[in-house]
Structure 1
Amino acid sequence: MKANEKRLKATKSFLKFDSDKDFDDIYNDFDSRIQKMISPVTETKEQLIERIRNEKYEGLGFPLGYPVFLTSDGRRVRSKSEMVIGDVLENSNVLNQYEKPLDLGRYGKVYPDYTI
């Protein structure tokens, strides 16, 4: 019983350690030279955002003569509604991709207006 109580106390102490910080915060607190020596199991939020922002994909494209609607950041979309949605997402700092292909396996490929 005493051994289990010690283990429980040690576990509770461990769980309290840096409990207000998530792994990204702990990683970001390290000097950049130390960060280069660490191979995180998962991407940090910043790395994920950077990867998504730089990800290349091919949307549906636009037929010749199709009306041109541009969001404030210069992306071409299909309608005024999509233009407004795109601007709201950007102004709210919501990471998004326009008409990024989504493969639904046997149901085929779809192109959602926005992936957030």
Structure 2
Amino acid sequence: MIGLKKYLIEEEARLKMIKQVVDERLVGVPEGNLRVTSSGKHVQYMHCKEKDGKYQKQGDYLKKSDMPLIKKLAQKTYDQKIKRLVDKRLRQIQNLNKDYSDNEIESVYFKMNINRQALLIPVEKTWQQTVADWKSKPYSGKEFKDGDPEIYTKKGERVRSKSERLIADILYEMGIEYKYECSVILKGYGQVYPDFTMLCRKTGEEVYWEHDGRMGDSQYSEKAVKKINSYINNGILPGDRLILTFETANVVLNDRTVRKIIESVLI
């Protein structure tokens, strides 16, 4: 559920980039190593070369005029250490990536015969069980007023705007369960009704979606900003557990934006 695979893949890519950098820098480096000693305020540099398979502890003293060589030798030692570390970590992560799956605990259960599954108590609830338990908890949303437009989603739920219908329909198409206008208490602000509440598969936590559709209206936008700040003050941060989308009279929400948000935050 944590979604470790994504981070392992990202870390493998990062290490490969580092490896490429140090491999290129280690081409054509000068022979030998650098030894750095100090006596009081004076720093001394020695160029130690290999003899009989080992580097000498005492080498040729280098002068200040040899600073370009000194820097190259120092860089060589650093790059060699980075290369050894990166090569080691790459082997470990690549082996883990071949073998690891985010859902491997859950998959043990689902790979069993359905009749055997009925006899078992999984060590962890499956994602389907978790979502079903969460969805089964009753709640009361906001009431609609007389004269409110009648807009319905593909699930047959009534929503307040065409943009909310767009979000609801895409969530439904992508198999994301949600609660519409399920209330939340924000300390220092009071009760709010986020347009949509979902469970994040990566973390198992609730994620709230607030769509502010009239940001060109100064009174509306001021109220929206206050509410967003209250979410933040309650530890519910945008991009983490809070999804925010906006519209004005001239800039409308589109399905591509909605899908990208869902893929990034919820899946």
Q: TM-score of the superposition, structure 2-length normalised?
A: 0.33
**1:100 equivalenced with 2:169 (yes/no):** no
| Identity fraction in percent | 35
From 93, 100, 106, the equivalent of 1:24 is 106
CA change 1:106–1:33 in 2 (3 A) is farther
From 107, 125, 129, the equivalent of 1:43 is 125
Which digits, 9 at most, give the CA deviation of each residue in 1:28-74, with x for residues without a partner?
22334443443334321121232344442111121223211111111
Unpaired runs of at least 5, structure 2: 1-95, 199-267
> Mean alpha-carbon deviation: is it higher for 35-44 or for 53-62?
35-44
1:2-81 matches, within 5 Å, as 19-20=100-101, 22-81=104-163
From 163, 188, 193, the equivalent of 1:111 is 193
Between Structure 1 and Structure 2, which shows a larger proportion of strand residues?
2
Alignment-mate amino acid for residue 65 of structure 1 = G
Distance in structure 2 (CA, Å) of the matches to 1:34 and 1:105:
47
The RMSD of aligned alpha carbons is 2.6
Higher relative contact order structure (alpha carbons within 8 Å, sequence separation ≥ 6): 1
Larger Rg: 2
Aligned residue for 1:89?
Answer: 171
Q: What displacement does 1:106 show?
A: 5.4
Distance in structure 1 (CA, Å) of the matches to 2:112 and 2:188:
45
> Mean alpha-carbon deviation: is it higher for 96-105 or for 31-40?
31-40
Q: What displacement does 1:112 show?
A: 0.6
Corresponding residue SS for 2:124: coil
Q: TM-score of the superposition, structure 1-length normalised?
A: 0.68
> Mean alpha-carbon deviation: is it higher for 93-102 or for 79-88?
93-102
